[in-house]
Amino acid sequence: MSETPTQDAPQVVTRRLEEEGEVAADYLEELLDIADLDGDIDIDVDHGRAAVEIVAEAGSERSLRRLVGAQGEVLDALQELTRLAVQAKTGERSRLMLDVAGFRAHRKVELAEVARAAIATVQETGQPFSLVPMNPFERKVVHDVVAEAGLVSDSDGVEPARFVVVRPA
């Protein structure tokens, strides 16, 4: 007895995302070899996206920070290049998320605090509250925290000055 397409769909999606992660890992391994950097590659599927992290080996944390940049700008560019490499290999657009040495994970914690402070201000004043410009990853984190709190948020402005506005529900 075969499964219905609706039952197969999550497995097909998961396989596709795992394939994206494998392609990305191969691309990043080559990059690390070329740059003579040490790091391990972890692959996962998180919130419907392939998630790949370059994990620092003991003592190599500082050298991997070069792949992040001062404010994550190098990481953003590397993520985009990795997405393009995946697209070239699979023929499909990738929404892959890349982290290096835990930078995004740490930034996510910071942004959740920023979002909670904005939520508190909106709840206290009843007025919309605008945050500073953020990249798409940062805005997504804020939107998720705001939604969990039962408020609403929008992105406003034009890249690279696009920002989140938190509003009462």
Full 3-state SS string of 66-104: HHCCCCCHHHHHHHHHHHHHHHHHHCCCCCCEEEECCHH
Residue % of the chain over a pLDDT of 90: 80
For the segment 32-60, the average pLDDT, to the nearest whole number, is 90
Q: Report the candidate in 6, 138, 150 with the shortest Cα–Cα distance to residue 72.
A: 138
Q: Are 86 and 20 within 8 A, CB to CB? A: yes
**Is residue 164 pLDDT above 90, yes or no?**
yes
Q: Do 36 and 71 sit in the same domain of this protein?
A: yes
Q: Say whether both 111 and 72 belong to one domain.
A: no
Q: Which DSSP state fits 65? A: G
Residue 108: helix, strand or coil by DSSP?
Answer: helix
Q: Which domain holds residue 128?
A: 106-167
pLDDT at 57: 77
pLDDT tens profile 41-51:
999 998 889 99
Mean pLDDT computed over every residue of the chain: 92
In terms of Cα–Cα distance, which of 104, 57, 112 is closest to 76? 104
Among residues 105, 130, 131, 5, the alpha carbon closest in space to that of 52 is found at 105
For the chain, how many structural domains are there in total?
2
Residues 141 and 75 reside in one and the same domain: no
